[in-house]
Amino acid sequence: MIRNSTRRSGTRAILLAAALAAGTAAAQTPRPVAELPAPPALNVSSFVLMEQETGTILASLEPDLRVEPASITKIMSAYAVFEALAAGEASFHEEAVISEKAWRMQGSRTFLDLNSRVSVENLLLGMIVQSGNDASVALAEHLAGAEEDFTILMNAIAQRLGMTGTNFENSTGWPGENHYTTAMDTAILTRAMIQDYPTLYGMHALREFTWNGIRQPNRNTLLARDATVDGVKTGHTESAGYCLVASAVRDEMRLIAVVMGAASESQRVQDALRLLSYGFRYFETRTLLQAGADFGSARVWKGEDTVVGLTVQDDVVMTLPKRASERIETRVVIDEPLIAPLEAGQRVGKIALIQDGETIAELELVPERAVPSGGLWQRTRDSVLLWFE
């Protein structure tokens, strides 16, 4: 993918080429990348292993299968609240009144008192760390007036992010006939949260939260098992099975593992850990081209200068099997002849990255500086010389 070096850190990069064949299409069995050991064969409904910076899919099983998300839903609920906080539409310190609907919620709870006033910050902690259904409903009602209206916001965000296999009916993950998502959509959402709200995302790494004198540990037990894991969310209902979204950073590479429909709590943890271990062991994310790098020079006709340096405006960052970058070649093609005037940023050619005879990425070459038209003598002289080129 291309990363524009002038954009702020954390903005989404553009995936140029699907360098890996693990793919985004649905599969009946785990799909290995060529020349790599097969990914773990997990006995689950679906899974996705994604590299966060580039969005590359390293392994998948039925990634587009519609499944019940259970409390994985709360990743979207949190994203919607984070968006409101970033836009100034809410603040950590403002308080929500706990309604009877929120107070009566069953399942996992923060144990909020009826008609009490609780800050948005504490409700977020209750929802994220304790998976509190009461906290989720309280946040939804506070931000949108009613949970039903909050789900309209959730679905609008899903559509904007390209989550084409998702529909939410509530903010908690309570089972519903038309409440579903996919492993792929969940990975897309998690990636967006980490990129768009990296500081707020840090709440998912908290190991415990106490409210009303009741201490509850984070249900994501991978946080205690692996120091590189800093999120994200668990989910479970009888119909959904055991679900887990885990994210970890090792050697400056972040992976996202989504496991849906495991048979037990211990299995979802073990399966997520197997996926993360596979990705970190066999893949790496590298900057293959850097913005501003020198790619030689080219003859310029009819300009004040006769030669101009060539460069690129963007980084090319890709996730590839380890050591695969050693087999990558660069091929420069110039759109000759280059005739002035040339503007800064104007395409004057392209540079392709070639691996095993296949183009895996392509980037425009641009002049390192603008080249104005030359004088009458220079333009006339070069016009004559071009006849002999």
Q: Which residues are catalytic?
A: 71, 74, 131
- At 374, the amino acid letter reads G
Give one word for 325, left, alpha or beta, with left for phi > 0 and alpha for psi -120 to 50. Answer: alpha
Q: Using CA atoms, how far apart are residues 68 and 374, in angstroms rounded to an integer?
A: 67
- At 167, the amino acid letter reads N
- Dihedrals phi, psi of 262, to nearest 5 degrees: -75, 165
Residue found by looking up tokens 């003598």 in the block: 377
CB 187 within 8 A of CB 64: no
